[in-house]
Structure 1
């Protein structure tokens, strides 16, 4: 059981962030125990051939049988615009002592053989292995993954504005509860831990957790990783049937977009889902937005689209 004791300042300083390195690190759980991550089995199947040449010994040395990973792979993002290259630069400069201490903590006092040697050489091998995993399993799919993560943050922001902090926090994960002052995270770790606030609370959506996760080190500032909404749609093409009446009014392509935009999405993601160019999607989105059927929100470098109340009424009427 982990308890974040949040101060008034913390409650006024709740922020969301995205971390490509965090996704990379947490994905090692799915590689080690695929059965625990059924929503990501399509990802494992699609990338299996590309991952065949990776340094799996080094990668698997970063996760244990409990599916713990060291905190240096789960950095606290300070911005929604975090870049992997910047995070890897920080990882390359990781102090040798911290690298060794955190791996020993994960592996309960035993240094994994693949990374047991001069720390600087081991860190270099680790970063090279992670770069290989990114190229094989993430580079092609990251734009869509990132859109799902950004859409989750937009959704949580709407919850926060409409229903308040307590409702938003209590809806993040089935293993996290907020009583107005203490955020309790029920971890598989049998030890009880209390973490003092004072540095704000950072919330990080991820594709690679089914529960709530948190840093292992109790001196880390309050940070919680939680399962992003919409993961199930990541690997599925849009198959929603278009009601004839709706298609007759707006056309089949725009009807399909309206149906899909019950959840926030970017034009890039929609293009991937429907197998058309982003420019073609943008033309349709522009018309639908000008007609009042969509709203748009900028998040970082992305523009996320969502059906308006009028658009939802039209879909329901169809």
Structure 2
């Protein structure tokens, strides 16, 4: 059991962050150990052939992901509530070389001959993997993570630390000034005024990941609420009001993008010619409603956060 002891300052400094870099690294773990992640099978089945077509060499990243341990330097704690991937990769490139060597040794890996070149190579691998495997899905993932943070914030306001931590993850309990977290290696860690960083995660499921190593911001990465529904087929009819603004064909294409898809597949499902679908998708992309992601010979289209909000009827 890991025991995190809080002062009043620690409790006041407890905060949330979302980390695209962590999700990228944890997603590699899903692909590397598929038997442990049945919940993400649909995502993995869609992504594997795209990765194969892209020719990405994942080893610089995948070797840092073990069955129970992930190299901490590969995903440093986010320093702002919602950093973008570029900001987190800049922090990755600045990791101290002695920290890199220690983390690699803990995983049984040899030291990098040129540590800075290794960090740069790792950042490039993360970027390429993100582009193929995560970026097309990020609006959906981000919406779920944002929803979890909002839910937790409301719990904290309505019931304090007891309610905030009550259903964070199985086995996590709040007692007095202490948070008890299941962990194989027992330890007691005073937060010493640093507070606790809570990072909801899609690809952490079903595990809880803690970081309490000296020199790091203490954090917990926990499974976000609603992960079980994330990859469900949720194709919906476009709202009539949206169709009046965009036109039926463009609104229909948006509704069909419940998961990233290529032009040919969208054209077939929408009853359009390939050329017609391509023109509509270009217009939607220019309007900021879809994004395009090249994967090998194909371009995958995905809804943006604005489009997700429009289809959900949110302001």
TM bucket (normalised to shorter chain) is 0.7 to 0.9
Give secondary structure in 2 for the equivalent of 1:217.
coil
Distance in 1 of aligned mates of 2:84 and 2:20: 7
Residue number in structure 2 paired with 1:229: 225
Give secondary structure in 1 for the equivalent of 2:211.
coil
Cα deviation code 1:288-315 (max 9, x no counterpart): xxxxxxxx7xxxxxxxxxxxxxxxxxxx
Matched, 1:167 2:172: no
Kept in 1, the 8 Å contact 2:235–2:256? The answer is no
Distance in 2 of aligned mates of 1:280 and 1:166: 33
Give secondary structure in 1 for the equivalent of 2:222.
strand
Matched, 1:204 2:199: yes
Residue number in structure 1 paired with 2:57: 55
* Distance verdict in 2 for CA 1:13–1:142, change over 3 Å: same
TM-superposed deviation, 1:239: 7.2
Kept in 2, the 8 Å contact 1:15–1:203? The answer is yes
* Distance verdict in 2 for CA 1:220–1:3, change over 3 Å: farther
Residue number in structure 2 paired with 1:24: 24
Unmatched runs of 5 consecutive residues or more in structure 1: 241-250, 255-268, 287-295, 297-318
* Distance verdict in 2 for CA 1:128–1:284, change over 3 Å: closer
Distance in 2 of aligned mates of 1:284 and 1:175: 34
Residue number in structure 1 paired with 2:127: 131
Kept in 2, the 8 Å contact 1:5–1:182? The answer is yes
* Distance verdict in 2 for CA 1:85–1:281, change over 3 Å: closer
TM-superposed deviation, 1:238: 2.8
TM-superposed deviation, 1:284: 7.8
Residue number in structure 2 paired with 1:193: 187
Distance in 2 of aligned mates of 1:178 and 1:270: 43
Kept in 1, the 8 Å contact 2:169–2:208? The answer is yes
Kept in 2, the 8 Å contact 1:214–1:223? The answer is yes
Residue number in structure 1 paired with 2:146: 150
Q: Structure 1 length as normaliser, TM-score?
A: 0.72
TM-superposed deviation, 1:253: 4.4
The aligned length equals: 255
Residue number in structure 2 paired with 1:299: none
Cα deviation code 1:217-240 (max 9, x no counterpart): 244332111100111222223379
Kept in 2, the 8 Å contact 1:176–1:212? The answer is no
* Distance verdict in 2 for CA 1:233–1:4, change over 3 Å: same
TM-superposed deviation, 1:166: 0.7
Kept in 1, the 8 Å contact 2:212–2:218? The answer is no
Unmatched runs of 5 consecutive residues or more in structure 2: 241-253, 260-265, 267-283, 290-305
Matched, 1:214 2:202: no
Matched, 1:282 2:310: yes
Task: Quote the RMSD (CA, aligned, Å).
Answer: 2.8
Residue number in structure 1 paired with 2:296: none
Kept in 1, the 8 Å contact 2:75–2:92? The answer is no
Kept in 2, the 8 Å contact 1:175–1:211? The answer is no
Matched, 1:10 2:4: no
TM-superposed deviation, 1:58: 1.7
* Distance verdict in 2 for CA 1:284–1:23, change over 3 Å: closer
Kept in 2, the 8 Å contact 1:206–1:226? The answer is yes
Distance in 2 of aligned mates of 1:186 and 1:92: 31
